[in-house]
Structure formats: structure tokens, C-alpha cells
Structure 1
Amino acid sequence: MHDASPILDVAGISKRFGGLQASNNISMRVPQGGITSLIGPNGAGKTTLFALITGFHTPDAGSVRFRGEDITGLAPQEIAERGMIRTFQIVQPFAGQSVRENIAVGAHLKIRSRAAALEKAEDVARKVGLGDRLDMDAAALTVAGRKRLEVARALATDPELILFDEVLAGLNPSEIRDVIPVIRAIRDEGVTILLIEHVMQAVMSLSEHTWVLNQGQLIAEGAPQDVTRDPHVIEAYLGKGMAERMAKQAADAVGGAHE
């Protein structure tokens, strides 16, 4: 990692739920100003880690530092006010309210005035491609529209760091291609981004550094193109048998090429 003073420093975080060790001694340092990612198979503990970082769960051990300040155990609202916000996998707009009003909910974290919050909502809506749907009932948005709304609500809080939890899940390839520049533009405005993502195309094109989580433990980290070639990572995603078959096929192909 290239940044000596990370915006987020997670050190030895562990969390157990009953008999399940959801997070096991996880440490990661997120550099300021970039886009980094967290990948891993379903049930690896990615969303739990986000919840631990942002105050929705309290870790059993370890610490979370944001901009050098220890925020371990603080409530989500306090963490959001300091400038770290997360999105959720399941997007739930406030039905019966317009897109503008939904985004203004995020703006109200730091803006008291109703008029100023609505103005901020309009500005953010344009940035995420919802400028033409400001007066629409948020519940009537498509899946892609709801994902953009979730991004907008987070952005409206004026964050320094956004944790995106599968913001591209459920989108088709052309919708994914449309949202990727939106995420880049947020980074270009100076907001640091850490994303959980299953869409590898997005991880490869967006992310400078990725961590791989499996069964609550970090098993690899590095540039996405290197990490996805790591045998341990392939095995975590595909299972031991499939990983071995793929390795054998690759070896056979190389052997065949030399004959």
C-alpha cells in the first residue's frame, strides 16, 4: 500500500456470533483518495466486516481508526457525522417520498435547513444520473435507479470515505458500465471508496488494491489482477476440486502447446 497515513486503519478486528467466528483477526489499511475493494465468496464475512467498521456491530477485539482517530464502538450516526458512511445490499427507498426527498435524508446529516438539504439533493442527483427523476416516487425506481439512489443518499452526507456494499449487484452488463464512471467521478472529487463487489469486471476496472476474505479471514491482498490468479483465492471461490481441475487443464494446455 502506497499511503503512509491511511484514512481507515482496521487492526486485528474479531467478532463471534454464537458458534460462528464471523471475523477473525482482520487487519487492513485503506489509503486516502483511492478505490479499494473487498472480495470473497458468499458468507465470507464481508458485510459483517463493514458493519464492524461502521458501528453497526461492536468488535470483540481489535480497533478501527478513521483519519487517525479511534472510532471503535462508536454508534453509526457518530461515525457518519465524522465522515464515514456505508450503503446497504438491500436498497429500501422511503416509499411515498420523491427521489429528491430521499436524497435529502442523507443531506440532513450535516445540513439543518430543509431548503439547503433539498438543494444539495438536486446537486447530488445530477452527479449520479438521477437529475431527471427528482420528482418521481422513489419506490417506482428500477433496480438500477435504486442503486443510484443508494449511492446518492451516501454522497449527500458529504463523506470522506464511502463503503459501498455490492452497489452493482442485480444490474445487467450495460447498467454496470453506466455506473462505473459514476463511482470513478466520486473518487475524482476526493472521496475515498472501499467497495464489496462480486462483479469482477468492476473490481478489475475500478479497484487499485483488493483484499480477499474467506470464512472470516483475509487470505490474500494485492492488485486485483494478481489476487484473482492466486490459487488460494480460486479455491475459496470455486472449491478445491474445481480449482485443481482448472490448474490441471491449464497445465495440460501448456504441455500441449510445447509438444
Structure 2
Amino acid sequence: MLEINGISKSFGGLRAVDNVSMKISEGSLVSLIGPNGAGKTTLFALITGFHKPDSGTVTFAGNDILGVKPSEIARAGMVRTFQIVQPFAGQTVRENIAVGAHLRHASRRDALDRAREVAEMVGLGDRLDQDAADLTVAGRKRLEVARALATDPKLVLFDEVLAGLNPSEIRDVIPVIRAVRDSGVTILLIEHVMQAVMSLSEYTFVLNQGRLIAEGEPRAVAADQAVIEAYLGPGMAARLKGQSAQVPA
């Protein structure tokens, strides 16, 4: 469904994304992990048309989408969420979601009806008439998911939809993400919450300093020495490895 080949992007002298290649199959739920500043969100921006890569190709549903506007990419069926959720001021939850629904529904009535359906799917059905600005952090995260789903996408790129949530809220949102995939939507998610990565994703890519350093099943990736060093630093990783080697069997 989505194929990225040799994507690179520099900002000044900083190589934010360096020769990254990935393939996402239709119907899959794939995660992209890595330490802060690894280039994950920049990669999302390159995939969805918000930034233009210096080199490489992006193919979605068999079509080259380099240089295509984000709005047209969304119309083709690929949308993304954003880390910082900003509801439209002075609008209800229903109206916020309807903004996304208008991509497919010209009629306001149809868009509002679609907004209600999506709100119920993500657990906001009882807050449709609430001012979106009054939602909790967890509610705003659900709203961001809902606005993306209202566009009736084929592929959604979720950018840290669990960030800022407490453990109980994370447990509540994980089934929502799983239900999205089960409904037929392919998912690529950036996530730091390893509980979610292990629970949800079937395959994981690891980005560090703009480069892919590992990929595979989540548990295998989490045990990869290069991945451990990327998160903890070589010194701490070596100390932990030494301590584990000293523990009697």
C-alpha cells in the first residue's frame, strides 16, 4: 500500500532523514519508534506531502505522490494526525469531526451524521455537543483520531496519539486503535509507549539520527543491541549488559 524508497531530507546542515526505505502492506498495523529527535515526525511530513524530500520516492496505492499536496494525498486515502492536538475554537466535538468528514461529504447534514458515527467509534459519542476546547488531554487525543477517521482513509499515520496519557487512559485507547485496524484501515504509528507497540503492532521500524537501524517483530527489535544503545546510550547499555551477565543463572 505504501512504499518509501531512499527518502532523505536535510534542513541546513542537519540530515533529518537519511536514505530511509519502508514498505507498509495493506491491512497491517506497523509502528515506527526511536528516541526523541530521531526524525520520525519529519518522515511523516515527507510521506504526507508537508515537506518535499531531497531525494527518494513515495508510492501510495501504486501512485507516485511526490510533490502532491497534502489535501490531495488525503483525498487519495492517506491522512495523518499531529502530536499537538488543536481543536477548532468555538466548535463542538461534532463540528470538529465534521471538518474531516467534509472531505467526502459535501452536504453538512451528511458530514454531521458521519461525525456522529466516528465519535461513537472512538468513545466520544456522549460528548458530541461539548465544546471541543473543554476536552481533557485524553479526549483531545480521541478527537484527533476521529478527525482523521472522518475522512474515510485507507491508511492513517498516527503521530504519538498516546503521548501525555496516564496508564489507565492508554489501556482505554489501545482497543480504539485496534478497532480502527479491524475496520479495514491500515495503520502506521509513531509511538513511545512500548506497552502499545508490543500490544498493537505486528512489525516495527526503528529510526535513530534519521536512519533506520532495525526492523522486525516488536519483541525482537526491543532486544536488539543497536536499539537499546539508541535509547540508553552506549555506556548505559554496556553497563546494563554487564550487570545482567553477572546475575547467576
TM-score band (shorter)? over 0.9
**2:43 & 2:144 partners in 1: Cα distance?**
19
The equivalent residue for 1:101 is: 95
TM-score (normalised: structure 2): 0.99
One-letter code aligned to 2:145: V
Q: Percent identity?
A: 73
Q: Indicate which of 129, 137, 140 corresponds to 2:131.
A: 137
User: TM-score normalized by structure 1?
Assistant: 0.96
For residue 134 of structure 1, what is the amino acid of its counterpart?
L
Q: Within 2, Cα distance between the matches of 1:46 and 1:36? A: 13
- Aligned-partner Cα distance in 1 for 2:66–2:203: 24
**153, 167, 171: which one pairs with 2:147?**
153
Matching residue within 85, 95, 114 for 1:120: 114
**What's the CA shift for 1:137?**
0.1
Task: Report the equivalent of 1:192.
Answer: 186
Per the alignment, in what secondary structure is the counterpart of residue 5 of structure 2? strand
CA RMSD of aligned residues (A): 0.4
* Cα displacement (A) at 1:238: 0.3
Structure 1: runs of 5+ lacking an equivalent: 1-6
Residue 57 of structure 2 is matched in structure 1 by 63
| Residue-by-residue CA offset, 1:93-141 (whole Å, 9 max, x unaligned) | 0111000000000001111000000000000000000000000000000
Counterpart residue type for residue 167 of structure 1: V
| Secondary structure in 2 matching 1:203 | helix
User: Equivalents in 1 of 2:243, 2:68: separation in Å?
Assistant: 50
Distance, in Å, in 2 between the alignment partners of 1:32 and 1:237 is 30
Return the match for 1:40 from 34, 39, 57: 34
Q: Residue 204 of structure 2: which of 210, 217, 228 is its match?
A: 210
Equivalent residue in structure 1 for 2:236, among 214, 223, 242: 242
One-letter identity of the residue aligned with 1:147: K
Give the unaligned 5+ runs of structure 2: none
The separation in 1 between residues aligned to 2:246 and 2:212, in whole angstroms, is 31
**CA–CA distance in structure 1, aligned partners of residues 178 and 128 of structure 2:** 22
Match of 1:4 in 2: none
Between the aligned partners of 2:50 and 2:98, the Cα distance in structure 1 is: 22
Q: Which residue of 1 aligns with 2:72?
A: 78
Structure 1 stretches of 4+ moved >6 Å: none
Distance 1:233 1:124 in 2: 37
Q: Secondary structure at the match of 2:73?
A: helix
Amino acid at match of 1:194: L
2:220 is aligned to 226
Distance 1:118 1:143 in 2: 23
Shift of 1:174: 0.6
Match of 1:3 in 2: none
